[in-house]
A and B are shown apart, each in its own frame.
Chain A
Amino acid sequence: MNQLGFPLLSILIFLPLLGAVVTSLLPWKYASRLSLVFAVVNFVLSLLVVGYFQRTAEFQFVERVSWITAFDNPDTPIPDPGFLIEYFLGVDGISLWMIPLTTLLSAIAIWFSSDSIREREKEYYAFMLLLETGMLGVFMALDLFLFFVFWEAVLIPMYFLIGVWGGKNRIYATIKFVLYTMAGSAFMLAAIMALGIFSVNLGQSGTIGYALDRLQDITPQLPPQTQLLLFLAFAVAYAIKVPLFPFHTWLPDAHVQAPTAGSVILAGILLKMGTYGYLRFAVPLFPAVALELAPIFATLAIIGILYGAWVAYAQRDMKSLVAYSSVSHLGFVVLGIFSLNNQGLSGAILQMVNHGLSTGALFLLVGMIYERRHTRDLEEFGGLWTRMPVFAAFFLITMLASVGLPGLNGFIGEFLTLIGAFAANPWWAAFATFGVVLAAVYMLHLFGKIMFGPLDNPENRTLSDLTRKEIMILVPLVALMVLIGVAPNLLLDPMQPSVEALVEVIQTGAAARLIP
């Protein structure tokens, strides 16, 4: 069934679920350590995926069994289409790096929480692990029905994480988050249902199925109008998740109110579910429409890049600043995707990993300072460089990675994205490049406000530097930033075959479009 001979992907998905059950059954004082053990084991297991990954465009570690088969009555006069819903998992170059990223950030988020979460710990860690299950499922599922189940399942734990352990305005934030996402999901669900029904009439087997490979045979046969509608339905759901301008308004609220670990996961992984959705479903299923609409999405992405950066500069709340910077950075990812060429797509995928690492680290750093001062107001800080040199060092590297300094990871991703965008349309690259400059502006503003200047706030005089544990939490992230910055081919190489295959799908779609 796959190159390992055992269902690695299922284990990765369901081990955290088991962890959630075990954690909630045992006494609360073990909750944090126990969940950390599960998360770390899962991370180590996820390295197997990287280790055994072969450099091909095929789906690997595939697990495929029928999950729900129903309502097929062979003895009725008109043979009935039955449902054939599959439990279909697999990894290719596009999803490869999202899996270790998810497991790593989950483990780090859980580890960080052991100091900051002081109430209802059992539930908290159970929800964190459930969240991991859902996210991994999203990145592995290759049956749209299964994908949708995981996609929605992610909402529940996040809803509770923000709503129970969040800040003052948490209920407003969590409802906004859920309603926005649900509204998008409703469109996607409608599109999935429609695709299932088209699969009866156009497919080979005459059953209602949702597996990606079967749907890919069907979608080119659909009339252009239908393709357009279906693509839009998917695209709206993903655009809300990314979030693409103008669907981004839920994000700052959710981030500001979420607990630190929630923000890390939200920015680091949840947002990538949206961009991943484009890469995995929306674009390959409807390449012709994607090409047609690419200018619109690229424009929205560029507006997001510039607007996000602009608004980020105006924020006083550190978390809110980082949240808007996410809008800007994710704009680059979407721009890369809708360049629809090799460089753009590779850059987008790489940038998904980069943003996870650097923004995750930024939220952790903000969280660490929040633990000490219980405020995130930029005006309260200044001159911390002298009090907290280690903190400042980590902050500096992370900030520079986020800005896109050559030698660190952000540079490679943004550079590839911009090359891709240039190849698609030079104007896109021209405007997007301003985003890089603006990123430097708001990030240096953030860094300068906190670190430089006189240490004039008396409350800041007593601040202690990072503890050993906090350093250990940050080291893997910073190390990866440097590693990817120095040797980006480690990541780019394995994803190449899949990216090339995707580009080929897009070109075939483009060719098909020429025939009216």
Chain B
Amino acid sequence: MPPMSLQELGTMARLMSMPIFLAFVGLVVLLSDLIFNRDDERRWPAYLTIAGLIGSLFLWVQSWLVYNLPETDNAFFAKARELLRVEALPQPELLFGGMYDPVGFFKLTLLCNLIIVIVALVVTLIAPGYLERRDLQRGEFYALLLFATVGLILMVGSTHLILTFLALELLSIPLYILAGFARPDLRSEESALKYFLLGSFASAFLLYGIALVYGATGTMNLYEIRAILAGDIQSGAPQILLVNGQNNLMVLGGLTMLLVGVGFKISLVPFHQWTPDVYEGAPTVVTAFMVAGTKVAGFVMLVNILVAFIVLYEWWWPLIAIIAVLTMLVGNIGAIRQRNIKRMLAYSSIAHAGYMLVGLVGLPVFPNIILPTLSLYLGVYALMNLGAFAVLMALEEATDREIVELEDFAGLGRAHPVLALLLGFFLLSLAGFPPTAGYFAKFFLFTGTILSAQRDPSLALQQWLVVAAVVLSVISLFYYARYIIAMFMTAAPAVEDDEEEFEPERPSWMVGTAVAVTAMLVLLIGLFPNPLLALFQ
């Protein structure tokens, strides 16, 4: 690489400013915990975190403006660019020595950065109340959350397997701690230990995969891997891919190991067994972060890896298809059995990963439909899960008791009609019921998938994947609706005194904001997806 000028370095730093800034905020929050140690100051680290995350939203807008430079020439954007002093980079795709790409294919990474920041923001908004109720208010919670967020951002933008691994660890280690944050609670400790053991296992797989891929191709840069594999096929003189007319086991083995490692992280079947226990035991706000944040980022990581190995498509798509079917089946069937909403949402997140995998099978045929629809799905998925968790937190605040078991939901529709309706709304959205955002996301993803199957006859099987996905999402309504029935159609247990019922407590402004923001976004994306879609064309 040629040495870069100071100005270039500055621009690069600005384009990478989101992770850098958030890491810095994380350090500040960690220190602030030393200063704000009086009981009435406990919330200050949270406020700082929120400020930092909102700041990083501006940084996101800046990078969005940079990468939309050629296409948008209307006055508003021009003015905004002028104010932010944004200029285009000669080669914007590769930063940090070619290890980091803030845009990604079809701006997938760019969008996911936004989703990740919103996830972190909503989690920070709902966390303080929860931590106080559990007597867990310690400032390092927010610092750990921020480090994990940085890990997510680096993970989705990574184009180099080493950075991918580092980012994954930067994400995982804080999450291990966060999962066990409710320390005297045995379930939380169990959750942390399980997550740690299986997470390390997954990391080992990933590392071994990286080593094999490096051994075969001589590089760990995903773009270079793609170019080498493609060149190998085109040149007709196979050196890497084919040995003695057979597939190079080193590449295939490496790819499989990578998939196993990622599969653990985004809990694809059969690597999902840890998920319900970990999600159930971890503090609820951490669960929200894992369900929304980790899964989205892990999925983008999976896309990045699959794109690098796109020429081996013939080989990996049956694998993905089988995993997709298993994941949908196990997720949906598992969810039916659950009577604990955290476990139910854990299985439902497995099911959703399955739906998204169905879309991924069509990736090489129609990347320009599959990837934008997938990013829409990821965004909607994160928002509706966050919304459901935010409402849960608001309900806990309002009723002053823990609400996780199905029985806890009885009669909530009468005591807290607005919150109960909102939870119903998010659950319907998760089930993909029109006219919610969840329905539109599913509709576009599945239509795009069928479309790719139509264009490439060898993918006829994919249509049946979509049929399975549609049937299973109809079935999924059953387990989501169970909570709606409990809230609205069964009476509350008579133990409570009447006073409480008639004067419901209002949730605090932070949780209220979180609920309002997620609900508005899910509703708006549902009714008017156009502006959002236009951002990422």
How many residues from B make CB contacts under 8 Å with A?
Answer: 38
Is B348 an interface position by the 8 A CB rule? no
Query: Does B485 lie within 8 Å of A149, measured CB to CB?
Result: no
CB distance from A458 to the nearest CB of B (A): 34
When C-beta atoms are compared, the residue in chain A nearest to B478 turns out to be A179
Q: In the bound complex, what is the Cα–Cα distance between A148 and B439 (angstroms)?
A: 11
Q: In the complex, A185 Cα to B473 Cα: how many Å?
A: 12
Name the residue on A nearest B485 (C-beta).
A171
Nearest-neighbor residue (CB-CB) of A77 within chain B: B368
Interface string of A68-80 (1 = CB under 8 A from B): 1111110010001
What B residues does A21 contact at CB under 8 A? none
Distance in angstroms from A118 CB to nearest chain B CB is 14
- In the complex, what's the smallest C-beta–C-beta distance from A146 to chain B, in angstroms? 9
Known: A71-B537, A163-B485. A193 touches B443 (CB 8 A): yes
CB of A196 closer than 8 Å to a CB of B: yes
Contact across chains for A80 and B477 when beta carbons are under 8 A apart: no
Is the CB–CB distance between B470 and A189 below 8 Å?
yes
A183 to B448, CA, bound (A): 23
Candidates B366, B433, B534; contact of A152 at CB < 8 Å: B433
A475 within 8 Å of B (CB atoms): no
* Interfacial chain B residues near A123, Cβ < 8 Å: 417
> What are the residues of chain B within 8 A of A189 when measuring CB–CB?
443, 470
Q: Which residue of A lies closest to B413 (CB)?
A: A164
Do A149 and B435 touch (CB < 8 A)? yes
Contact of A71 among B373, B446, B471 (CB under 8 A): B373
B373 neighbours in A (Cβ, 8 Å): 71
Q: Give the docked Cα–Cα distance between A123 and B488 (Å).
A: 11
Task: Please give the distance in Å from A25's CB to the nearest CB on chain B.
Answer: 10
**A152 engages B451 (CB within 8 Å):** no
Residue positions of B touching A, CB distance < 8 A: 366, 368-369, 372-373, 413-414, 417, 428, 433-435, 439-440, 443-444, 446-448, 450-451, 454, 467, 470-471, 474, 477-478, 481, 485, 488-490, 529-530, 533-534, 537
Contacting residues, chain B, for A186 (C-beta < 8 A) = 470-471, 474
Interchain Cβ contacts under 8 Å between A and B, 12 examples: A68-B440, A70-B444, A70-B530, A70-B534, A71-B373, A71-B537, A76-B368, A120-B417, A148-B434, A164-B488, A175-B485, A178-B481
Q: Find the B residue at minimum CB distance from A196.
A: B447
Look across to chain B and name the residue whose beta carbon is closest to the beta carbon of A152: B434
Q: With both chains docked as a complex, state the minimum distance between the C-beta of B117 and any C-beta of chain A, in angstroms.
A: 24
Chain B, Cβ-Cβ closest to A182: B474
Q: Report whether A197 and B481 are in contact in the complex, using a CB–CB cutoff of 8 Å.
A: no
Whether A197 and B529, one on each chain, are in contact in the complex, defined by CB atoms closer than 8 angstroms, is no
The prevalent SS among residues of A at the interface is helix
- Evaluate contact between A164 and B450: CB separation under 8 angstroms: no
Roughly how many angstroms separate A298 CA and B478 CA in the complex, as a whole number?
A: 34
Task: Decide yes or no: A163 and B488 within 8 Å by CB, A68-B529, A71-B537, A186-B474 being known contacts.
Answer: yes
Nearest A-chain residue to B463, judged by Cβ: A194
Q: How far is the CA of A354 from the CA of B372 in the complex (A)?
A: 49
Chain B residues, CB < 8 A from A116: none
Interface membership of A190, Cβ < 8 A: yes
Residues on B with C-beta less than 8 A from A174 are 489
Q: With contacts A80-B366, A163-B485 known, is A197 near B477, CB below 8 A?
A: no
Binding site for B on A (CB under 8 A): 67-73, 76, 80-81, 83, 120, 122-123, 145, 148-149, 152-153, 156, 160, 163-164, 170-171, 174-175, 178-179, 182-183, 185-186, 189-190, 193-194, 196-197, 200-201, 208
Taking CB atoms, residues of chain B closer than 8 Å to A196 are: 447
Cα distance A67–B527 in the bound complex, in angstroms: 9
A202 to chain B: closest CB distance in Å? 12
Question: Are the C-beta atoms of B448 and A71 separated by less than 8 Å?
Answer: yes
A-side contacts of B413, CB under 8 Å: 164
In the assembled complex, the CB of A399 is this many whole angstroms from the nearest CB of chain B, namely 34
A313 to chain B, nearest CB (A): 33
The answer, among A70, A170, A190, for a CB contact under 8 Å with B467, is A190
Return chain A residues, CB-CB under 8 Å to B372: 70-71
Which chain A residue has the least Cβ–Cβ distance from B488? A164
How many angstroms from the CA of A164 to the CA of B478 in the assembled complex?
17
Given A73-B368, A175-B481, A179-B478, are A200 and B451 also a contact pair (CB < 8 Å)?
yes
Specify which chain B residues have a CB less than 8 angstroms from the CB of A208 in the assembled complex.
447, 451
- Shortest Cβ-Cβ A-B pairs, 3 listed: A70-B533, A152-B434, A163-B489
**Chain B, Cβ-Cβ closest to A123:** B417
Alpha-carbon distance A178/B488, docked complex (angstroms): 16
Cα of A186 to Cα of B447 in the assembled complex, Å: 14
A185 CB contacts on chain B under 8 angstroms: 474
Q: How far is the CB of B418 from chain A (nearest CB, A)?
A: 9
- Chain B residues positioned under 8 Å from A67 (CB to CB): 530
A120 CA to B420 CA, complexed, in Å: 14
CA A120 to CA B491, docked complex, whole Å: 13
A149 to B368, CA, bound (A): 26
Query: Chain A residues with Cβ under 8 A from B444's Cβ?
Result: 70-71, 83
Q: Give every chain B residue within 8 A of A152 (Cβ-Cβ).
A: 433-435, 439
CB of B489 within 8 A of CB of A182, answer: no
> Do the beta carbons of B414 and A120 come within 8 Å of each other?
yes
CA distance A70 to B444 in the complex (A): 9
Q: How far is the CA of A72 from the CA of B444 in the complex (A)?
A: 13
Provide the residues of chain A in CB contact with B485, threshold 8 Å.
163, 171, 175
* Max count, chain B CB within 10 A of own CB: residue among A68, A69, A70: A70
Partner of A153, one of B435, B467, B474, B529: B435
| Complexed CA–CA distance, A62 and B443 (Å) | 26
Q: Identify B447's interface contact among A153, A160, A193, CB under 8 A.
A: A193
- A80 near B450 with CB under 8 A, answer no
* B474:A71 contact, CB within 8 angstroms: no
B530 touches A69 (CB 8 A): yes
Q: Which residues of B contact A122 (CB under 8 A)?
A: 417
7 further A-B pairs in the complex, CB-CB below 8 A; given A70-B444, A71-B444, A208-B447 = A70-B372, A70-B530, A81-B451, A171-B490, A190-B470, A197-B454, A200-B454
Docked CA distance A148–B434 (Å): 8
Nearest A-chain residue to B371, judged by Cβ:
A71
Shortest Cβ distance from B433 into A: residue: A152
Q: How far is the CA of A71 from the CA of B533 in the complex (A)?
A: 8
Q: How far is the CB of A328 from chain B (nearest CB, A)?
A: 30
Evaluate contact between A68 and B530: CB separation under 8 angstroms. yes
> Cα distance A189–B368 when bound, in Å?
24
Shortest C-beta distance, B399 to chain A (Å), equals 18
- Shortest beta-carbon distance from B432 to chain A in Å: 10
Residues from chain B with Cβ under 8 Å of A148 in the complex: 434
Bound: A194/B477 CA distance, A: 23
Given contacts A68-B529, A148-B434, contact A197 B447 (CB under 8 A): yes
- Chain A residues near B450: list those with CB within 8 A: 193-194, 197
Q: Which residues of A contact B488 (CB under 8 A)?
A: 160, 163-164
A80, A183, A193: which contacts B368 (Cβ < 8 A)? A80
Chain B residue contacts of A163, Cβ below 8 A: 485, 488-489
Measured CB to CB, the closest approach of chain B to A29, in angstroms, equals 16
Q: What residues of B have a CB within 8 angstroms of the CB of A190 in the complex?
A: 467, 470
B434 and A201 within 8 A (CB): no
Q: How far is the CA of A197 from the CA of B443 in the complex (A)?
A: 12
Query: Is B530's CB under 8 angstroms from A164's CB?
Result: no
Residue of B whose beta carbon sits closest to that of A66:
B530
Note all chain A residues with C-beta closer than 8 A to B439: 149, 152
Kindly provide the distance from the CB of A232 to the nearest chain B CB, expressed in whole angstroms: 15
**A82 to B, closest residue via Cβ:** B369
Which residues of chain B come closer than 8 Å to A149, judged between CB atoms? 434-435, 439
Given A70-B372, A71-B533, A153-B434; A201-B454 close (CB under 8 Å): yes
Tell me which residues across on chain A come within 8 A of B478, comparing CB atoms.
Answer: 179
* CB-defined contacts of B434 to chain A, threshold 8 Å: 148-149, 152-153
Q: Given contacts A71-B533, A163-B489, is CB(A183)–CB(B474) below 8 Å? A: yes
Residue of A nearest to B440 (CB): A68
**Contacting residues, chain A, for B369 (C-beta < 8 A):** 71, 80-81
A183 to B473, CA, bound (A): 11
The distance from the CB of B479 to the nearest CB of chain A, in whole angstroms, is 12
CA distance A501 to B414 in the complex (A): 51
CA distance A185 to B373 in the complex (A): 23
